[in-house]
Amino acid sequence: MPSNQGAPLESLYKAARGRGVEFAEEFVPTTRTFDTSEVRLSYTEWGDPGLPPVVLLHGFAQTSHAWDLITLGLADRFHLISLDQRGHGDSEWATDGDYSLETQQNDLDEFIKSLGVSRINLVGLSMGGRNAYVFASRNPHLISNLVVVDTGPQGIRSGRSRIRNFVTMPDELDTFEEFVERVHSYVPHRSLEQISNSLLNNIRKMENGKWTWKYDRLLRNPDYRRPTASQDQLWDYWESVKCPSLIVRGGNSDVLDSKTVTEMTERNLLAESAEVPDSGHLVPGDNPAGFLDVVRPWLIKNK
């Protein structure tokens, strides 16, 4: 079920040029939906479906549009498929509140099978990165290459607490501009224009006239804890990945430290690592041109 993208594309192209993102043409994405056995998922496609497929998974409290600057820069060489994971963006919320690792993996099983391709490249940031390497470990026959962005089997507690503190702030504001200011205080190195463009797809206006995030309110509850695997289990998943893998760390990340990156490359010899300067945890948004400088040639080399 295709539809037009909600946010004006001209603002995206302008934001991309302003951040130094090079792109071959002004690609126009298509948004579609897919029904799993439990929820309806929304996803966005960029580029020629005949090109090698790349599936992108966003981080916690984000949407598929977190990748827009990146997909724009890759769409001349790849078919990009950016998914709103359950409870996020335009995908349905879990009626039973189940956002466990197992359930997210079930969603991916069904979604990727629906694409009708034999192999994919898989890219994930933060929560999406964890979902990506777990999926890759479970489905070695499906994954050509894996890119894991600023996450690993263990992380820095202070950085994760900073994210939790941000997402649990009051979630209804009177104006769009108030949301822009809030996000700018969280990522002050980003321009107001880039933040405004991003928020066009990340928040929505409610019937009462206020604005709120486009992801499940349960996930914003300070008392909610997402069920996940243990650290030992996550290391087991990581060690079981059987495809070429690239770990991308933000140079200023407070979530993934360089020591963990080193251990990841030591415990999986198919993995290599790269660091993107001038970026924190949200690498693709913090320094999209730097991220593309690392990831684009690596994916092309491994096509």
185 lies in a domain?
no
191 lies in a domain?
no
159 lies in a domain?
no
205 lies in a domain?
no
**What digits encode the pLDDT tens for the residues 36-62?**
999 999 999 999 999 999 999 999 999
**What digits encode the pLDDT tens for the residues 180-203?**
999 999 999 888 888 888 898 899
Q: Tell me: pLDDT of 97 over 50.
A: yes
120 lies in a domain?
yes
The total number of structural domains that make up the chain: 1
297 lies in a domain?
yes
Among residues 277, 239, 281, 233, the alpha carbon closest in space to that of 257 is found at 281
Conformational region of residue 209, where left means phi above 0, alpha means psi within -120 to 50, and beta covers everything else: left
Task: Determine contact, residues 298/290, Cβ cutoff 8 Å.
Answer: no
**What digits encode the pLDDT tens for the residues 274-295?**
999 999 999 999 999 999 999 9
**pLDDT, position 7:** 55
189 lies in a domain?
no
Residue 57 is part of a domain; what is its CATH number? 3.40.50.1820
206 lies in a domain?
no
Rg over alpha carbons for the chain, rounded to the nearest Å, is: 18
Q: Tell me: pLDDT of 3 over 60.
A: no
How far is residue 123's CA from residue 196's CA, in Å, rounded to a whole number? 25
Average of pLDDT values for 84-108? 96
Looking at the chain, the whole-number percentage of residues with pLDDT higher than 70 is 98
Residue 6 pLDDT grade (very low, low, confident, very high; cuts 50, 70, 90): very low
The C-alpha torsion from 66 through 5 and 78 to 43, rounded to 10°, is 70
Identify the domain containing residue 104 by its residue range: 9-152+229-301
